[in-house]
């Protein structure tokens, strides 16, 4: 613990000039704001600053000794990068104190083109372990906004281990899902939370049900409503000593869509409390009147979220009565029908000729344009054997164990998988989220992995990638890296990656463009349950026993398969992994089998079935279908068509309706 009283920064949001002046006058040390493009608040035309207003805002703040950080923090397509660079050059002329960034490709581009402004890692980069922070430091970033699930105690350790300047949310609207890993809005609406246009499906009403029977599971004890994912607003006003002692440099207030009349008093309250503590730590007491004012003027009810412990029920606003705005209501997921076999929605999409890539020598069967490999991710040892026998070219094991009878992927189990695969290469995947406890375990696991015969490692975040390089095994990047442009792929290639996975919210046309530009082979997901959210919050524990994952738990998630039922009657599968994280999926599984000819034509190097939720017999039927039709599509991309009978066979093998995910529409913004 840091027992000194270091200087701290109070960082406030500003969505317009009125809010800017309010928070500066209230005592903010720094403000963060965005231009009219390339930031994470893109819904309202009356918010954000055009070029002239941005220049005036920076001049105003600097004249009063206040720092300004400009958000450049959403994901970008290749066709947008030239304009992003032009915008960054313009920002440089205005002299902000830093840019806040998310996209790996944008980071690489800014540094390559000599943009010398300091770069801060957005919370959307989901930094939550020391190797991730060290990797970001290697990329030239000078500050990291920690993931919202990182506790203050862990933040203190991360700061001490890495020496990185850390920023931490202290107040405002929080997401229940892990930042940067929520694809719900992008998949459902084409409005991506990674591109500043989240429609907040986490604020819908849901019921926790048995996935098979639809029976509602009543909360015990009862809760006040059905807003099961509606996280309360964060408030750490009562815990400023812990924040300061943790070594947090910047205390971030969320609220770029809030008016100045709300933000001014809020910033003033934090200013008074911080100054009082720094002036006399031993004599500091939070002014009760200050707290009463903030409580009376709250928007949602308040919680300390994950700063001090897992909040469980205490973090959720079940009633929804204080929800200030609902951005959307439950949406029907379009399901494919037999009539969709007649015309491909991708037939008119031009697929650029993929560049000729030097493919690395080694054990991985990386596909080539016109001959993509078929990869299958499995959850069990029996699934490995089924996939290999039905024609998989590449098999993924490991990562989150979400199958109800999932194999525990120990080193011995991986070795058994290699043997069961009968010569088909087996690559070991890692979880998207690897907090300290999991990371310690994973380091030992990675050290023993080369001896198992595994053909490679599919890393899911920058920290794991950094650690996995020491194994000497081929490295692949999973969809958790959110690769949307070739500059991101090029950056990963320099760090030893030999294949990248397409971002899940991208359209078919977008990914076809990326396949044509990427310096690395591109694999895309073509079938399986689509992940909407990954959460630290455990819904079964909270609802069925008023517990958290950190308390003794009888395993409410183990007795049956669970789902969330929305107001349209759609059941979205809910699975709990080996670390008690909750994974919410779409109601419809992804399926592109009728359009494999288009996917071959697009030049993708690999097509992946996400099969880890399926039982072994279902998985075997799916792999057999995809193998047969992929071979037909490779032989004749234009003439390959799925018959009505084959479609019925596919439906019979699927436990859920089938749809196209984001492929038809893709993420806007």
CATH code for the domain in which residue 646 is found: 3.20.20.70
Query: Which backbone phi and psi does 590 adopt, to 5 degrees?
Result: -70, 140
Q: Residue 635 falls within a domain, yes or no?
A: yes
Paired tokens of 283: 């004599």
Q: How confident is the model at residue 47 (pLDDT cuts 50, 70, 90)?
A: confident
Indicate whether 301 and 384 sit together in one domain. no
Indicate whether 390 and 451 sit together in one domain. yes
Q: Residue 338 falls within a domain, yes or no?
A: no
- From residue 620, alpha-carbon distances to 213, 382, 401, 611 in Å are 25, 10, 19, 10
Q: Residue 361 falls within a domain, yes or no?
A: no
Q: Residue 206 falls within a domain, yes or no?
A: no
Q: Any residues with CB less than 8 A from the CB of 503 and at least 6 apart, and which?
A: 75, 194, 479, 482, 483, 484, 511
Q: Any residues with CB less than 8 A from the CB of 339 and at least 6 apart, and which?
A: none
C-alpha span between 270 and 248 (Å, rounded): 15
**Res 3 pLDDT > 60:** no
Which region among 4-8, 508-512, 524-528 has the lowest average model confidence (pLDDT)?
Answer: 4-8
Which region among 210-224, 342-356, 647-661 has the lowest average model confidence (pLDDT)?
Answer: 342-356
Indicate whether 157 and 45 sit together in one domain. yes
Q: What mean pLDDT do residues 605-617 have?
A: 96
**Res 5 pLDDT > 50:** no
Q: How confident is the model at residue 21 (pLDDT cuts 50, 70, 90)?
A: very high
**Res 80 pLDDT > 60:** yes
- State the DSSP code for 473: S
68-84 in b/e form (b: 16+ CB < 10 A) is bbbbbbbbbbbebbeeb
Please report the pLDDT score of residue 45 as a whole number: 67
Q: What mean pLDDT do residues 339-350 have?
A: 88
Q: Is 383 exposed, middle or buried (0-12, 13-18, 19+ CB in 10 A)?
A: buried
Query: Which backbone phi and psi does 526 adopt, to 5 degrees?
Result: -120, -15
317-332 in b/e form (b: 16+ CB < 10 A) is bbebeeeeeeeeebee
Q: Residue 395 falls within a domain, yes or no?
A: yes
Q: How confident is the model at residue 4 (pLDDT cuts 50, 70, 90)?
A: very low
Indicate whether 510 and 416 sit together in one domain. yes
Indicate whether 250 and 388 sit together in one domain. no
C-alpha span between 540 and 298 (Å, rounded): 29
**Res 633 pLDDT > 80:** yes
**Res 648 pLDDT > 70:** yes
Please report the pLDDT score of residue 325 as a whole number: 87
Q: In total, how many domains does the chain have?
A: 2
Indicate whether 25 and 116 sit together in one domain. yes
Indicate whether 146 and 294 sit together in one domain. yes
Q: Residue 337 falls within a domain, yes or no?
A: no
Indicate whether 152 and 245 sit together in one domain. yes
Q: How confident is the model at residue 593 (pLDDT cuts 50, 70, 90)?
A: very high
**Res 358 pLDDT > 70:** no
Q: What mean pLDDT do residues 248-263 have?
A: 95
Paired tokens of 408: 């525990």
Place of tokens 């359209």: 507
Please report the pLDDT score of residue 355 as a whole number: 67
Percent pLDDT > 90 in the chain is 85
Place of tokens 């991710």: 377
Structural domain ending residue among the three candidates 274, 289, 315: 315
Indicate whether 298 and 402 sit together in one domain. no
The tens digit of pLDDT for each residue in 94-120 reads 999 999 999 999 999 999 999 999 999
Indicate whether 286 and 371 sit together in one domain. no
Please report the pLDDT score of residue 634 as a whole number: 95
**Res 305 pLDDT > 70:** yes
Q: Residue 36 falls within a domain, yes or no?
A: yes
Q: What mean pLDDT do residues 540-562 have?
A: 91
Structural domain ending residue among the three candidates 275, 300, 315: 315
Indicate whether 269 and 406 sit together in one domain. no
Paired tokens of 614: 């399926």
Print the domain residue range for 270: 9-174+233-315
Indicate whether 655 and 524 sit together in one domain. yes
To the nearest whole number, what is the mean pLDDT of the chain?
94
Q: What mean pLDDT do residues 459-480 have?
A: 97
Structural domain ending residue among the three candidates 315, 336, 353: 315
Please report the pLDDT score of residue 1 as a whole number: 35
Q: Residue 184 falls within a domain, yes or no?
A: no
Dump the DSSP string for 326-369. ------PPP---GGGGSS-TTTT---PPPPP--PPPSS----BT
pTM over 0.85: yes
Please report the pLDDT score of residue 285 as a whole number: 96
Q: What pairing do the DSSP bridges indicate for beta strands 475-477 and 497-501?
A: parallel
Position with higher pLDDT, 369 vs 305? 305
């Amino acid at each position: 613990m840091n027992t000194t009283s270091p200087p701290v920064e109070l960082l406030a949001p500003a969505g317009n000039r009125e809010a800017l002046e309010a928070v500066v006058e209230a005592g903010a040390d720094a403000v963060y704001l965005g231009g009219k493009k390339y930031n994470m608040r893109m819904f309202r035309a009356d918010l954000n600053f055009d070029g002239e207003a941005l220049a005036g805002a920076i001049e105003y703040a600097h004249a009063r000794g206040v720092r300004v950080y400009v958000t450049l923090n959403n994901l970008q397509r290749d066709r947008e990068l030239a304009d992003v660079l032009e915008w960054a050059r313009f920002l440089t002329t205005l002299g902000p104190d830093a840019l806040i960034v998310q996209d790996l490709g944008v980071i690489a581009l800014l540094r390559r083109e000599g943009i010398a402004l300091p770069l801060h890692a957005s919370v959307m980069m989901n930094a939550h372990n020391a190797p991730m922070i060290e990797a970001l430091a290697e990329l030239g970033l000078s500050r990291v906004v920690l993931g919202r699930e990182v506790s203050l105690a862990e933040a203190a350790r991360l700061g001490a281990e890495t020496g990185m300047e850390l920023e931490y949310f202290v107040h405002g609207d929080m997401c229940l899902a892990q930042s940067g890993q929520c694809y719900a809005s992008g998949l459902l609406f084409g409005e991506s939370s990674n591109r500043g246009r989240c429609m907040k499906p986490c604020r819908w009403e849901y019921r926790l049900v048995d996935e098979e029977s639809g029976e509602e599971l009543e909360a015990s004890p009862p809760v006040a409503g059905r807003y099961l994912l509606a996280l309360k607003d964060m408030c750490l006003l009562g815990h400023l000593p812990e924040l300061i002692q943790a070594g947090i440099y910047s205390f971030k207030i969320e609220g770029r869509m809030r008016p100045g009349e709300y933000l001014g008093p809020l910033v003033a309250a934090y200013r008074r409390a911080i100054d009082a503590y720094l002036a006399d730590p031993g004599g500091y007491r939070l002014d009760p009147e200050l707290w009463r004012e903030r409580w009376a003027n709250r928007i949602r009810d308040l919680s300390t979220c994950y700063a001090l412990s897992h909040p469980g029920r205490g973090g959720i606003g079940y009633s929804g009565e204080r929800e200030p705005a609902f951005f959307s209501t439950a949406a029907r997921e379009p399901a494919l029908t037999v009539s969709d076999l007649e015309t491909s929605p991708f037939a008119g999409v031009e697929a650029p000729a993929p560049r000729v890539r030097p493919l690395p020598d080694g054990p991985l069967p990386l596909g080539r344009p016109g001959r993509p490999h078929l990869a299958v991710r499995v959850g069990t040892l029996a699934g490995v054997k089924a996939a290999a026998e039905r024609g998989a070219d590449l098999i993924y094991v490991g990562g989150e164990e979400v199958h109800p009878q999932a194999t525990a992927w120990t080193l011995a189990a991986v070795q058994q998988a290699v043997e069961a695969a009968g010569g088909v290469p087996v690559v070991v995947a890692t979880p998207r989220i690897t907090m300290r406890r999991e990371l310690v375990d994973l380091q030992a696991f990675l050290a023993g992995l080369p001896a198992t015969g595994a053909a490679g490692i599919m890393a899911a975040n920058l920290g794991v990638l950094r650690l996995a390089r020491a194994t000497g095994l081929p490295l692949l990047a999973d969809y958790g890296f959110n690769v949307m442009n070739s500059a991101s792929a090029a950056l990963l290639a320099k760090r030893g990656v030999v294949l990248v996975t397409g971002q899940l919210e991208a359209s078919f046309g977008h990914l076809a463009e990326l396949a044509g530009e990427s310096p690395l082979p591109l694999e895309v997901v073509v079938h399986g349950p689509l992940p909407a959210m990954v959460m630290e919050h455990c819904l079964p524990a909270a609802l069925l026993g008023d517990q958290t994952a950190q308390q003794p738990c009888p395993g409410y998630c183990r007795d049956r398969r669970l789902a969330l039922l929305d107001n349209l009657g759609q059941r979205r599968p809910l699975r709990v992994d080996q670390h008690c994280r909750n994974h919410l999926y779409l109601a419809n599984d992804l399926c592109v089998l009728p359009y494999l000819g288009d996917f071959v034509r697009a030049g993708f190097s690999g097509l992946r079935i996400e099969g880890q939720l399926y039982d072994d017999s279902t998985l075997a039927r799916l792999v057999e279908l995809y193998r047969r039709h992929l071979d037909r599509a490779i032989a004749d991309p234009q003439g390959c068509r799925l018959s009505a009978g084959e479609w019925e066979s596919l439906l019979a093998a699927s436990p859920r309706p089938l749809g196209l995910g984001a492929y038809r529409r893709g993420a806007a913004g």
